[in-house]
Amino acid sequence: MPEKYIEKILRARVYDVAIETPLDFAPSLSERLGNAVFLKREDLQSVFSFKLRGAYNKMSLLPDSAKQQGVIAASAGNHAQGVALSAKRLGIDALIVMPTTTPEIKIKSVRAMGASIELFGDSYSEAYTYAQQLAATSARVFIHPYDDPDVIAGQGTVAMEILRQQTAALDAIFVPVGGGGLLAGIAVYVKFVRPDIKIIGVEPDDADCLNRALQAGSRVVLDQVGLFADGVAVKQVGAEPFRLAQKYVDEVITVSTDEICAAIKDIFDDTRSIAEPAGALAIAGLKKYVDREQVSGQTLVAIDSGANINFDRLRYVAERAQVGEHREILLAVSIPETPGSFLAFCRLLGGRSITEFNYRYFDAALAQVFVGLSSSGLESDRATVIDHLQAHDFPVTDMTTNELAKEHIRYMVGGHAPCELHEIIYSVEFPERPGALLKFLLELGGRWNISLFHYRNHGAAFGKVLMGLQMPPEQQAAFEQCLEALGFYYQEATANPAYRLFSGGMR
């Protein structure tokens, strides 16, 4: 019954450590979207995330005997800091299991709050499993990050504040989704008090565990999850959050990495604060909803859920934000290798700015150019540019949504091999920690020659590599078994047009 949760939320003891965060109007975004957009600033909590609410509420309700035995949790960041600070305030001994890939800044932050730390595994899933094993063999209480009624109730206090702060019209609340605790807490409270308000969850399109569960009618486990929005990189939604979502959530929207990067920029433009990817997720979903439904004059709220982002990642965010807000178009254009052809190409662009131009001589007859162009921000602008170029006999391949092109090829243009190499191309993700690359190469054991390799560090827990290997097709299965044994996510990319146009061998 929802009354059970309403009472829990009203009685939640979050304000011993948490603050009532402001509901800030976003003027620039509101004007651009034609709706009144508000940001619920959970990034302003002392640990820069809403996670403190649920952790403290759960731990404050533990009986004294359990508090004396201590607590244990698994987290790579926000939940860890919430548990650590709560433990410090309540005088509870806390052990946090963190993946070995956790950035040092987060480890230091948790340790500074007095919690003990044990590093285990390359991912949250591995750390979580190990933490549960430790809890089962000790007297410590496991503090779940989302699948617990008291944690859900603590997160639900966010909704209580929103409805108190916005007593006038309110059409929809957009909530980031990982394990689903925040969404469940907000949904159950809002639908009890104001059932007319839409509750919309937002997930990355490469970590949409709730979206797929709702489609299937039961919880599913994703094989892999994207790690850009690491705060919501969860393979399976929690059992209790899923039960509540089925009853009280109106829909789930999925967004791309580029759309998340654009949302980080939107938040910065209006608040001069920097959200983490998971923190900007709700704004990305709000923008997509407005574009899809063509709504105007509505009042919309997005939860800015956190600001724990590594400084090193900002370069990547800035690079991808332009594409995410449809202000950069990436194209592969075929231009005759003759004097004056580039001038003719530029004249066709008129006053449009060229943001990037990559070229290297490869063929006596035809040049393949990787070009970035400024855009108006309208999705239709891309089609207009492509049609205009093709109408003047410049063949175009659209690279704007080609992940391989944006992640690797744009930095490798001119890398054509001088001959056919019979290589097979893979995109591989591996954990960013000392020795990971060496371990990978040792596992390959020199069985195959590496003919192409490109890697960029984005300040994230996992790095992305584009690599080519010279191997007979019948040996692909053995290579992929190596990757699977290491737990690396991979995709074959030999047929990707970005690779074939700019980095493939001569034929």
Q: Which residues participate in catalysis according to the annotation? A: 51, 305
Q: How far apart are CA 257 and CA 230, in angstroms?
A: 12
**How many alpha carbons lie under 13 Å from residue 461 in its C-beta half-sphere?**
27
SS3 251: strand
Question: 110: which residues sit within 8 A by CB, 6+ positions away?
Answer: 80, 81, 84, 96, 98, 117
Q: How far apart are CA 301 and CA 298, in angstroms?
A: 10
H or E, element range at 28:
helix 27-33
Q: 151 with 144: CB under 8 angstroms?
A: yes
Q: How far apart are CA 430 and CA 489, in angstroms?
A: 7
Q: Which of 411, 312, 415, 416 is nearest to 356 (CA)?
A: 411
* DSSP label at residue 231: G
| Two structure tokens written together for 173 | 């609340």
Q: How far apart are CA 357 and CA 335, in angstroms?
A: 13
Map 462-488 to HEC letters: EEEEEEEEECCHHHHHHHHHHHHHHCC
**Residues across the chain:** 507
* DSSP label at residue 434: T
| Two structure tokens written together for 320 | 């991808």
Q: How many CB atoms lie within 10 A of CB 398?
A: 16
Residue 331 φ then ψ, to 5°: -135, 145
Q: 187 with 251: CB under 8 angstroms?
A: no
Tokens 């909803």: give the residue. 289
